[in-house]
Structure 1
Amino acid sequence: MAEEQPQVELFVKAGSDGAKIGNCPFSQRLFMVLWLKGVTFNVTTVDTKRRTETVQKLCPGGQLPFLLYGTEVHTDTNKIEEFLEAVLCPPRKGSTSLPLPSRYPKLAALNPESNTSGLDIFAKFSAYIKNSNPALNDNLEKGLLKALKVLDNYLTSPLPEEVDETSAEDEGISQRKFLDGNELTLADCNLLPKLHIVQEDMSCRFPCFCHSLKATV
């Protein structure tokens, strides 16, 4: 018999008004993971200028976002994601004991390249928009556009499972919807929130990449 799911609460950085969810890609990443898992969870926004006593007790000095799973506090976005993937998972083959409901899907990408594709875009984007030296603009811009092009090439290239080895015809452009196929994975949870931020700025500066970004986001 499955046990009840522990209470899950995600603490995220609040926006400029101190109440609504802020534009933090790490918070959005974990929100996506929990949503895709189909788990019931609460979201608490934290005004970084006025941290409540409760938040301070739960995670003193801890960086947002952090997760409260039952009575356990989990920090570090990567570690939280790993924890959720391990705990909220399908039942093991042949297992008769289901510690949690078996409805939680596995979200790990099948193709390793899907996990790394586009990961350098946000860093290059941040370096570009924060640059105060005009002499570096051209090189930073080229580096960012190159990173976007690499992602675009990956998205349009067929995955191994899309290739028919018995056919002599060119497979052409990939028809998949997301990084690793037609279902969202942890790779998308990591990349999409960052791409959304990039899209908001880049679609005006570089219209030639707007279509690819919109198709991804």
Structure 2
Amino acid sequence: MHNQEAARIVIIEDDKTIREGYHYLIDNTSPYTVVNAYPSFDAAKLKITKDNPDVIILDIQLPGTSGIDALPLLKKMLPNVYIIMLTVYETEKIILDALANGASGYFTKNTPSAKIIEAIKEVMHGGGPMSPDVSKKVIMSLQKNQHSPLTKRETQILELIAEGKDRGQIATQLFIDVETVKTHVKNIYIKLDVNSKADAINVARTNKLI
């Protein structure tokens, strides 16, 4: 069991100002101790198991091994560690990759340090803290499957079918002819391995394609 109060923190961040800023603030304004701070994963990897951190604050844009690639490696070295990502970028794909690779929290770099200290406490209690802008993106992407076999147009057509529109109405709404709609529908059925409208809608909803 992690000791909530005296958690050991490691910071991996190449920006010296940010690294030293967090280091100072965590040490001086929180119950936590920064046991080490590194400019890259490559610098950290030989020593980090000895540091035995409870929480790692990990930058995504690192020289050498990126934070995303470092994540699974760190989780392998320290299976119980919590990892909070720090980033300038919050594209959907990067966020989802980080979460899929075992990140516990995700913050953009303009986050006030008090929030980061709060986030440490939250992950130690099993939470998944994120900047509001990040969580909004995660929620939006969870509503849509990122790896849909359907093209944007096919997804659009299937959404209209799910709303009860027939081929003629879909053709009118999308400014395409009915034959084109038919071709798209055929492709949707083939890709989803179904033979009917109802099955297509079902499969798509189950797999969050629409």
| Superposed pair shares fold, TM > 0.5 | no
* TM-score with structure 2 setting the length: 0.25
Which has more radius of gyration? 2
Structure with a larger share of its residues in strand: 2
Ranked by relative contact order (alpha carbons within 8 Å, sequence separation 6 or more), the top structure is 1
Q: TM-score, normalised by structure 1?
A: 0.24
